[in-house]
Amino acid sequence: METNVVDLLKNVGGIITDSHIVYTSGKHGSVYLNKDAIYPHATETAKVGKMFAEKFKDLDIDVVVAPAIGGTLLSQWTAFYLSEMKGKEVLGVYTEKDKGTMAGASESDQIFRRGY
């Protein structure tokens, strides 16, 4: 049984090793974790959300926020499990890249839209 996120990623082929990888930062390495490999597998994605929820269950959380596309599924599952654990609704929302900086947007150029 998978006990951590790395094990889950290994099982769905989401870990590339012994390769030459150029990261988005420009740095080089030999290992890449492809988080997107887990998303087609709903059960495994839910397990990751539950692991995240377990880690933060003792905090007073009302909203789980993630960047659009890459984190939306995980924010939803994490919010779902936090809601179950806390006995209250925890919202799962996402940010989007700021259109004003879209061409060179970085992870820090995220804003709330859609009425959040």
DSSP assignment of 70-91, as one string?
TSHHHHHHHHHHHHHHHTS--E
The answer to whether the CB of 98 falls within 8 A of the CB of 111 is: yes
pLDDT in tens, 79-88: 999 999 999 9
Total domain count, the chain: 1
pTM value > 0.85: no
pLDDT at 116 over 90: no
State the chain's mean pLDDT as an integer: 88
Evaluate if residue 104 carries a pLDDT over 90. no
CA distance 66 to 78: 10
pLDDT in tens, 21-65: 999 899 999 999 998 999 999 999 999 999 999 999 999 999 999
Domain holding 58, by residue range, is: 5-111
- The pLDDT value given to residue 103: 55
116 domain-assigned: no
CATH value at residue 28: 3.40.50.2020
